[in-house]
Chains A and B, each alone.
Chain A
Amino acid sequence: MKKLVIVSLILVGCETANYAPPVTLVMAKATSRAKQDVDVVKLERGRNLFVHRCIECHTLPTIWHYTPKDWTEIVNSMAHRASLKPAERDAVIAYILAVRKQM
Chain B
Amino acid sequence: MNKFLLSILLLSIFPTVCAFAGVRHFTFLYEAPTSAPGSVELENTITWAHGANWNDVFIREELEIGITERLQLGIYPLDWSHHSDSGLQYNGGAVELIYNLSNPVIDPVGISLYEEISAARQHFESESKLIAQKNFGRWILDYNATLEAEWEEKGLEEQTGEFQQALGASYEISPRLSVGLEFLHEFVFPDWRDEEKIRNVFIGPNVSYRRHEWFVTVTALAQATDTTDEPDFQLRTIFGIGF
Q: Which residues of A contact B (CB under 8 A)?
A: 9, 11-12, 15-16, 18-20, 22, 47, 51-53, 55-62, 80-84
- B106 touching A51 by the CB < 8 A rule? yes
Stretch binding the partner chain, chosen from B1-9, B18-26, B230-238: B18-26
CB distance from B33 to the nearest CB of A (A): 5
Q: For the complex, count residues of B whose C-beta is within 8 A of A.
A: 33
Flag if A82 contacts B105 (CB, 8 Å): no
Contact A56 B108 (CB under 8 A): no
The closest CB in chain B to the CB of A56 belongs to B22
A94 to B20, CA, bound (A): 23
Q: Are A83 and B105 in contact (CB under 8 A)?
A: no
CB 8 Å contact bits of B15-41 with A (1 = contact, 0 = none): 000011111000000000101111100
Query: Contacts A11-B136, A15-B136 hold; do A58 and B175 have CB atoms under 8 A apart?
Result: yes
Alpha-carbon distance between A72 and B103 when the two chains are bound, in angstroms: 24
Are A57 and B22 in contact (CB-based, < 8 A)? yes
Contacts of B103 in A (CB 8 A): 51-52
CA distance A102 to B36 in the complex (A): 29
Indicate if B168 sits at the interface (CB-CB under 8 A): no
Tell me, yes or no, whether B185 is within 8 Å of chain A by CB: no
Q: Is B140 an interface residue (CB 8 A)?
A: yes
Question: Which of chain B's residues has its CB closest to A9's CB?
Answer: B108
B58 vs chain A, min Cβ distance (A): 25
Shortest CB-to-CB span from B175 to chain A, Å, is 5
Instruction: Tell me the nearest residue of chain A to B213, going by C-beta.
Output: A81
**How far apart are the CA atoms of A60 and B103 in the complex, in Å?**
13
